[in-house]
Structure 1
Amino acid sequence: MNSLILIIIAYLLGSIPTGLWIGKIFYHKNIRELGSGNTGTTNTFRVLGKRAGTVTFLIDMLKGTLAVLLPIWFGTELSPLLIGFFAVLGHTFPIFAGFKGGKAVATSAGVLLGFTPIYCLFLLAIFTSVLFLTSMISFSSIAVSVIGLVTLFIFPAFHFILRDYDWLFTLIVSGLALIIITRHRENMVRIKNQEESLVPFGLNLTHQKTKK
């Protein structure tokens, strides 16, 4: 299949605003007008509840995984990872939602799951641990992005998980991490002011004052 067609399909796949559509169709709520106003997993959990949030996370992650698998199934000269990157761009800047999308965490995780599942599971373990310690999805997302940036350069040196240096992998995963960090700018301000939203579990070691 033509590489350009796969890129377009990946972008359109990523552009599906899962949380927004679930809210409008099943709950008759526009999550853009509630909570943080974001259409991603975290705000869906906050506004619509655990079931809707879980479904949103799984679908958003699946968008990234499917985008990576498309070139494997249909064949292309482009790297599956590059195709997956366009799904993340679609999720972040969705054509179906006025180019105002999520913060790229779930779809980026889906891309890594499809391309390098062991590394994805490593980062997921870090994310889960930080989430328990801080009770903040935002902080966990930022932390795992920073750790991802560091391990991209450290792990190949020791042939641990990432066996060798791959310039394209390093470039794209660095790009994903920087997108996630950039999309969490407002969260960083709230964390600094101890006003960030919390999940209803964990240790809240940074002593955020907002309600869970």
Structure 2
Amino acid sequence: MTALLIALSAAGGYLFGSIPFGLVLTRMAGLGDIRAIGSGNIGATNVLRTGRKDLAALTLILDAGKAGIAAAAFGYFFGTTAGLVAGGFAFAGHCFPVWLGFKGGKGVATFVGTMLVVFWPVGLAVIATWLIMAAIFRISSLAALAAAMAAPFAAYLWGRADVALMAGVLTVLIYWLHRANISRLLKGEEPRIGGKKDAAGTDGDQDADEPDTPAS
């Protein structure tokens, strides 16, 4: 790949990934600015706090889909490396959108969408890990962190060092974005899925960009 093609893939992926679907959908539905409620996040979990499960599900699909489409499009036209770059930067665009002062979502849905396209067995491993961990521990953020950690190892075991490298970088970012959740997990204070809300009506900023139930 030439430097120009890498830059084009990065820019295209970032711009597509930076579309804040959660914010757009809730505003179109007349629910105001999603950043003004709950955790202030633009992901599906915070959209769910509006009481609109349909919008939360659509946000989840679109946040995953935008990264997947970016990776698929650039990968199809310019090759595997371009797809990896575009998918990775779509993740960055979702988490750090220039339009919102670089304050976006926590990237889990976008991460899944990227993995499903760049190497679908890893994407399925990520989803399976999330479902299993969520079913056992009933903690959304813990399930998300475990699922992200599974990706680079799964890619390496399948012999895809390129995917493992990208997944490793994105996993580090996911852990950094979930640092408040990790702190609460270590203290035993992280809310459980379907658990009692706090006084502000939120679930303690448990955002992991997915609805609060594994089946959603």
TM-score by length of 2: 0.80
Cα deviation, 1:22-68, whole Å, max 9, x if unaligned, reads 12221322221111111112222233432111111100000111111
Any gaps of 5 or more consecutive residues in structure 2?
A: 196-202, 205-211
Cα deviation, 1:141-192, whole Å, max 9, x if unaligned, reads 1111223344444x2xxxxxx1x252x3222110111111111011112223
CA drift at 1:75: 2.4
Q: State percent identity of aligned pairs.
A: 29
Contact 2:141 2:181 in 1 (8 A): yes
Contact 1:103 1:183 in 2 (8 A): yes
RMSD: 2.3
Q: Specify the alignment match of 1:108 in structure 2.
A: 111
Residues matched between the structures, number: 194
Matched, 1:188 2:170: no
Matched, 1:98 2:92: no
CA drift at 1:17: 0.9
Partner residue of 2:137 out of 134, 138, 156? 134
Other structure's SS at 2:48 match: helix
Contact 1:27 1:48 in 2 (8 A): no
Other structure's SS at 2:50 match: helix
Higher relative contact order (CA 8 A, sep 6+): 2
- The 4+ residue runs of structure 1 with deviation greater than 4 A are none
* Matching of residues 112-123 of structure 1 within 5 Å: 112-123=115-126
Counterpart amino acid of residue 78 in structure 2 = G
Query: Within 1, Cα distance between the matches of 2:62 and 2:145?
Result: 21
Other structure's SS at 2:184 match: helix
Query: Within 2, Cα distance between the matches of 1:5 and 1:150?
Result: 29
Matched, 1:28 2:31: yes
Q: Specify the alignment match of 2:74 in structure 1.
A: 71
| Cα gap change, 1:135 to 1:47, in 2 (>3 Å) | farther
| Cα gap change, 1:20 to 1:71, in 2 (>3 Å) | same
Contact 1:42 1:137 in 2 (8 A): no
CA drift at 1:69: 1.1
Other structure's SS at 1:37 match: coil
Q: Which is further off, 85-94 or 67-76? A: 67-76
Cα deviation, 1:110-152, whole Å, max 9, x if unaligned, reads 1111111122112211110111122222111111122334444
Q: Specify the alignment match of 1:15 in structure 2.
A: 18
Any gaps of 5 or more consecutive residues in structure 1?
A: 156-161, 202-208
Contact 1:6 1:70 in 2 (8 A): no
| Cα gap change, 1:135 to 1:152, in 2 (>3 Å) | same
Query: Within 1, Cα distance between the matches of 2:123 and 2:155?
Result: 12
Contact 2:9 2:85 in 1 (8 A): no
Query: Within 1, Cα distance between the matches of 2:165 and 2:80?
Result: 18
Q: Specify the alignment match of 1:176 in structure 2.
A: 170
